[in-house]
Amino acid sequence: MNLKEDVGIKAANYVKDGMTVGLGTGSTAYYMIKEIGRKIKEEKLNVVGVPTSTVSKQQAIDIGIPIKSIDEVKKVDLIIDGADEISTDYQGMKGGGAALLFEKIVATYTDQVIWIVDESKMVDKLGEFPLPVEVIPYGQHQLFHLFAQKGYHPSFRMENDQMKITDSGHSIIDLNLTQIDNPEKLAKELDETVGVVEHGLFLNMVNTVIIGKQSGAQTISNIR
Ligand SMILES: O=C[C@H](O)[C@H](O)[C@H](O)COP(=O)(O)O
Residue-range domains of the chain with CATH? 3-122+203-220 (3.40.50.1360), 131-197 (3.30.70.260)
Residue 95 in contact with ligand 1 by CB distance below 6 A: yes
pTM above 0.95, yes or no: yes
Active site residue 5: no
Residue 5 in contact with ligand 1 by CB distance below 6 A: no
Residue 8 in contact with ligand 1 by CB distance below 6 A: no
How far away, in angstroms, is 49 Cα from ligand 1 center? Answer: 18
For residue 98, the ligand 1 atom closest to its alpha carbon is 1
Residue 103 in contact with ligand 1 by CB distance below 6 A: yes
For residue 81, the ligand 1 atom closest to its alpha carbon is 6
Tell me the per-residue pLDDT of 153-183, one tens digit each, with 9 for 90 and over. 999 999 999 999 999 999 999 999 999 999 9
What ipTM did this prediction achieve?
A: 0.98
Residue 84 in contact with ligand 1 by CB distance below 6 A: yes
The DSSP string of the chain is --HHHHHHHHHHTT--TT-EEEE--STTHHHHHHHHHHHHHHS----EEEESSHHHHHHHHHHT--B--GGGSS-EEEEEE--SEEETT--EE--TTS-HHHHHHHHHTEEEEEEEEEGGGEESSS-SSPEEEEE-STTHHHHHHHHHHTT--EEE-EETTEE---TTS-EEEEE--S--S-HHHHHHHHHTSTTEEEESEE-S--SEEEEE-TT--EEE----
Mean pLDDT, 10 residues at a time, over the chain (224 residues)? 96 98 98 98 98 98 98 97 98 98 98 98 98 98 98 98 97 98 98 98 98 96 94
Q: Name the active-site residue from 5, 103, 134, 198.
A: 103
pLDDT, residue 169, reads 98
Residue 130 is given by DSSP the state P
Is 81 within any annotated ligand binding site?
A: yes
How far away, in angstroms, is 26 Cα from ligand 1 center? Answer: 4
pLDDT, residue 182, reads 98
